[in-house]
Every structure is written in structure tokens, then in C-alpha cells.
Structure 1
Amino acid sequence: MTKKKTGNTTNKEGKKTTQTRKKQSTTTRSRESQSRNTITSTQNKNTKSGNTQTRTAKRSSGRKKLKKKKGLHRKKTSLRTRRLIALVCTILILIVVGFIGKKTVSFVSSIWPNIESVKNSLTGGKIDKTNVDTSDQYDINDEKQPTLEAKHNIFIDVGCGGNETGYVTKDNVKEKDLDLEIAKLVAKQLSKYDDVNVILSRQEDVYMSADERKSLAENQNAELFVSIHMAGENTGKADGVETIYYKGSQNGSYDFASLMQTSIMAFIKAENRGTSAYEMSVLKDNSMPSIYIQCGFLSNSAEKKKLTDKEYQQELAKGIAQGILSYIDAKK
């Protein structure tokens, strides 16, 4: 009886021991599984964090590369822009320099003969017979000689002369030659009247100073002083006729200038520039009414063509002569 109980007890204890071992092994396994899961999850986390770090590193390196690329692009763009600006500036400078150079050459070439004329006028006295037809231009046989019947002495001052050529055109038309041609035509018109005596300041191509011209007029007891000239300027656009009197004169010059301008414009078709007052040396301190007629602009090609035309010259001379006669009649 006792033995049986012991056996059963042993068996029970064995069973308990077995069950205990099973539980322990199960617990151990579960712990191992948990530890494995923990390790795996840790590894996964580490892997994920590693991947994240790797991605972050890749992104940062990619950004750096992009920044580097953007920086190079900006440098290239900036360099191209500078080159383009430099090229445009160079072209503009060349255009401006070329334009100024062309204008300068044109300006100098147009005024050089007149600068030379002013320089020569300071020396004066020399005779320049180039481009002058003495057989025709200086023929004054038709001019009436002074007689006892003459009552009115009219002094016609021929502008320029000698080295003082006045304005010179590109085709070598000289003011001094046209001044003499017009003055001689005026003298011929006036010589038709018995009561008029005409005195020319010069009848050949010689230089005369302003003082010499005025002294000659005073010595000849001139009643009127009429100086004949052409004009010129640099644009080539100015044109027309203008009559000038001395600024502030009290000898009747203003009235004479107004009447002369009206008379000339009645005979020719030209721009009416009216009358003007200037302090011109050839008009200064004259005792008689004195005027300075600018018959037209040689610098204007259209007007130069008219001024060198014989018929136009005749009409211009008639207008000047009529202005003189009208003033004489008005003073009677």
C-alpha cells in the first residue's frame, strides 16, 4: 500500500516537474522571442534611422551640388551680361565718335576759307585775282561820271576785297566777287539820273579797312552810305535778305534801312529777314544815314544759285537803287 502511494507521488512530482520545465521552456522561449523581436525592432529602427540619415546626407549633398551648379550658372550669366554691355557701349562710343568726327570735319572744312579770310583781312593790301574775270567784272564804262549837275552823292561801299575774300563756297564762289558785281549794277542803275553821283569804295580787287571806307565817304560829302555784302553760316539752311543799321544811331539810318528793305523785297522773291541793329564798325560814327545790306546766304545752295544768276542780280540791283532814290525823294 505504501509503495503504491510513493509511486504515485513520484509520478505526480515528475509530472509537475515536467510541467514546470515546459512552462520554464515556454517562458524562456517567449523571452527569447521577445528579445529577438526587440533586437529586430532595434535593428529595424537603426536601419530606418540609417536610411533616413543616408537620405538626408544624399539630399544635403544634392542641394550642395545644385547650389554649386546654380552658382556657376549665375557666374556664366553675369559674365555674358558684362560682355554684352561692354560690346553695346563700345558700339555706341564708336557711333558717337564717328558722328562727332564727321561733323567736326564738315564744320572745319566749311569755315576754314572764312577763317583764312579773317586772318588775311588783318594784313590786307594784297590783290587776289584768282577766279576773277577782270575784262567783264571791272568794266564800269556805263557808270556816269561826276558832273556839276549832280546834287546827290551816293557812296556804294563794296564789301570785302583783296585778301578779305568774305564767305567762300565749296565750288569757290567768293563773296568779294559778288559784292562787286551787285555794286556795279546798282551804280549803273543810279547813273541814269542826272542829279545822282555814285562813288564806289573800290573798283578793283583790293583790300580796304573800315576806316578807309568811312573816310572816303566823308571826303566825298556822301549823302548816303550803302554797304553791299553776302552772308554765310554753317547749317546751310538760312536764307533771305536783311538790312542792318548801327545800333543807337541818330542819323536817320533806321528809316533808311526800313525803306530799303521794303524796296528790295518788292523786286525779288526771297525770304524777308527785315531790319536789324548791330554795332558794325563800317557803320559806326558815320555822319550820313548808313546801312549794310546782306543780299543773301551763299551757304544756302538754292540762294547761292540765285545770287550768281545774272537776271536775279539785275532785279536785286534795281531794288537797291530804287530804295536809294525813294529815300532821296522822301527827304526833298
Structure 2
Amino acid sequence: MKIMLDAGHGPETPGKRTPDGKMREFEFNQVVVQLMKMELQKCGVIVLLSHLGTSDVPLIERTTLANKLGVNAFISIHANAFGSSWNDVSGIETFTYTKPSSHSKILSKLIQDSMCSTTKRTNRGVKRANFAVLRDTKMPAVLVECGFMTNRAEAALLQSASYRNLCSNAMAHAILSWNKKS
């Protein structure tokens, strides 16, 4: 199996940070992607990254690369936000395209279930959206929101090594389970 991991927004994407500025979303995304890569490679999965994180890479370049390389799945990792100030919105949600393939549906459900059971965060469900990384990829694709940077409790989790490990292990486990089913 060959998958592409996408560390969500790049390091310079404006506004993608905790309200107190202590963490940029990319910091979380990049660490989780690297942890997932190591875990999946131990199990024989070929893991490719959509960008190295040294600069912002346009979405079209990421999806074009995934399509060109013919990966089996595209997984985009994110930390969520509701507005730009602290609030009580919390939880995990996973997105597929508005017209998802059956493989995307299965992968998204496995990831959502694994993330919620592992992290014990609120299950906000699998949702559909017209995001470029979901729409423009030719393979099963999901976008995972691992918690809200605008929620104080989840922001603290998103900054912790233990939570980052939980997220990476939960998603890697779901991807491996999906590979066995597809």
C-alpha cells in the first residue's frame, strides 16, 4: 500500500493558530504526520508526504502529486478552529468529499471511530465538504480535524506529545485496518 500524508495548512498560513499564539496549526499537523509515517512504515506501507513543511504548497500541487504518483489514499491532517477566540466547541471530525467513493466512506468511518475511541474526545461525526484535497484527488481521500485550537482544553492537548502520539497511532491503526478491508 502507498499513501500520501498531508500536513494540512503550511507554516505561513495566516490565522491558523491558537488564540494565544502559542501554537500554529502546522506545528501539530507536521509532528502527527511524521509520527504516522514512522508507524506506517514499520508495517510496510510506502508513505509519501505532500509537502516538506518548509513553505506553503498550493493545494493543486499536493493533489496533482498524489494523482501522478497513484497513491492508494490521501490523508490530510488538521487542527480545527471555531472563530478566532477561545470557546467551548470541541471534538473530532473527519471529512470526505460531497460525493465520496465507497472506499472513502469506509476509510473516514474507520479513522473517525479510531480517533474518538483512542482520544476520548467528542465525536462530531463524518461530514462531507467540497475541500480541494478531497475533490481533486482521484483516490480515497479524507481530511481529519483532530481537535479545536480555539478550545483551551483541546489546545493544551494539541500541544502535548502524548496527544500527538495518540492521534498518530489511532489514524495509523485505522489506515492499516482499511487496507485489510479494501
TM bracket, shorter-chain basis: over 0.9
CA shift at 1:182, angstroms? 0.9
* 1:251–1:287 Cα contact (<8 Å) kept: no
Q: Separation in 2 of the partners of 1:166 and 1:264?
A: 25
**Higher radius of gyration, 1 or 2:** 1
Task: Pick closer, same or farther for the CA change 1:251–1:330 going to 2, 3 Å.
Answer: closer
CA shift at 1:239, angstroms? 0.6
Q: Separation in 2 of the partners of 1:276 and 1:166?
A: 23
Match of 2:28 among 174, 178, 187: 178
CA shift at 1:165, angstroms? 4.6
* 2:111–2:174 Cα contact (<8 Å) kept: yes
Q: Which protein is richer in helix relative to its size?
A: 1
Share of identical aligned residues, percent?
28
Task: Pick closer, same or farther for the CA change 1:172–1:252 going to 2, 3 Å.
Answer: same
| Ranges in structure 2 where 5+ consecutive residues have no aligned partner | none
RCO (CA 8 Å, sep 6+): is it higher in 1 or 2?
2
1:60 corresponds to: none
User: What SS does the corresponding residue of 2:5 show, helix, strand or coil?
Assistant: strand
1:193 corresponds to: 43
| Aligned positions, number | 179
Instruction: Deviation per CA, 1:93-145: give whole Å up to 9, x if none.
Output: xxxxxxxxxxxxxxxxxxxxxxxxxxxxxxxxxxxxxxxxxxxxxxxxxxxxx
Pairwise CA RMSD of aligned residues? 1.4
Task: Pick closer, same or farther for the CA change 1:166–1:254 going to 2, 3 Å.
Answer: farther
Q: Separation in 2 of the partners of 1:166 and 1:229?
A: 14
User: What SS does the corresponding residue of 1:288 show, helix, strand or coil?
Assistant: coil
2:111 corresponds to: 260
2:162 corresponds to: 311
Q: Separation in 2 of the partners of 1:297 and 1:256?
A: 22
Q: Which protein is richer in strand relative to its size?
A: 2
Structure 2 counterparts to residues 94-133 of structure 1, below 5 A: none
Match of 2:150 among 291, 299, 307: 299
Q: Separation in 1 of the partners of 2:60 and 2:166?
A: 31
Match of 1:241 among 92, 95, 98: 92
Answer yes or no: is 1:208 the counterpart of 2:70.
no
* 2:11–2:24 Cα contact (<8 Å) kept: no
CA shift at 1:254, angstroms? 1.7
Match of 2:129 among 269, 274, 278: 278
Runs of 4+ in 1 over 6 A off after TM superposition: none
Give the TM-score normalised by structure 2: 0.93
